[in-house]
Amino acid sequence: MASAFSHAIAAVAIGKISRAAKWPGDLNRIDLKFWLIAICCAVVPDIDAVGFWMGVPYDSLWGHRGITHSLFFAGLLSGVMVHFFYSGEKVLSRGWLILFLFFFAATASHGVLDAMTDGGRGVAFFAPFNNSRYFFPFRPIRVSPISITRFFSGRGWEVLQSEFVWVWIPSFLVMALASFIKKLRTS
């Protein structure tokens, strides 16, 4: 997996670039709640790592990088987040759809980043309909140790260096582009 830090940074970059476009009504007042939900959506797919300690086989639908890394789960989680945290938005209204699509993208970015790592057994993008695991052909990101103690070691430092190059720098460039677009739009 990519580290939780990089998943969070990717969610913020997705949020910044999506915010470069004008959102309807009250959605233009994005607050801390929005950013915390975005980060949560990007990080929560790794909840499946508890399966390692519960004896869930890695290749299981419920194993690591299984259903919680799928597009189905991204849709389910984003729908739940909009329902509970933005209940004032009418279902399928423009505002509801924008929030849904944003939280979907933030959640789905987790699997995308994990499919670009150099370890593990791939990502079940199409679970629960198909549990086949996939990687992208381009896999430059070092896989992060799941153990917190192993993350704070030399191996974790290698992972962070890799993520800095392949996730953080592109994310910061996207954020800079979003700021530039927003500035052009307001002037």
Could you identify the residue written with the tokens 């299984």? 66
pLDDT surpassing 70 at residue 28 = no
pLDDT tens across 125-157, in order?
Answer: 999 999 999 999 999 999 987 766 666 677 778
In the DSSP assignment, the letter for residue 144 is P
Could you identify the residue written with the tokens 């030399």? 154
Contact between residue 116 and residue 138 where contact means Cβ atoms under 8 Å apart: yes
pLDDT tens across 63-80, in order?
Answer: 999 999 999 999 999 999
The larger pLDDT score, comparing residue 40 to residue 28, is at: 40
What is the residue-averaged pLDDT of the chain?
90
- DSSP 3-state of 151: helix
Instruction: State the pLDDT at residue 179.
Output: 87
Contact between residue 82 and residue 96 where contact means Cβ atoms under 8 Å apart: yes
- How far lies 181's CA from each of 4, 114, 134, 174, in Å? 28, 29, 34, 10
pLDDT surpassing 80 at residue 26 = no
Tell me the HSE value of 127 on the side-chain side, using a 13 A CA sphere. 25
Question: Read out DSSP for 88-106?
Answer: TSPTTSHHHHHHHHHHHHH
Contact between residue 44 and residue 36 where contact means Cβ atoms under 8 Å apart: no
Instruction: State the pLDDT at residue 187.
Output: 73
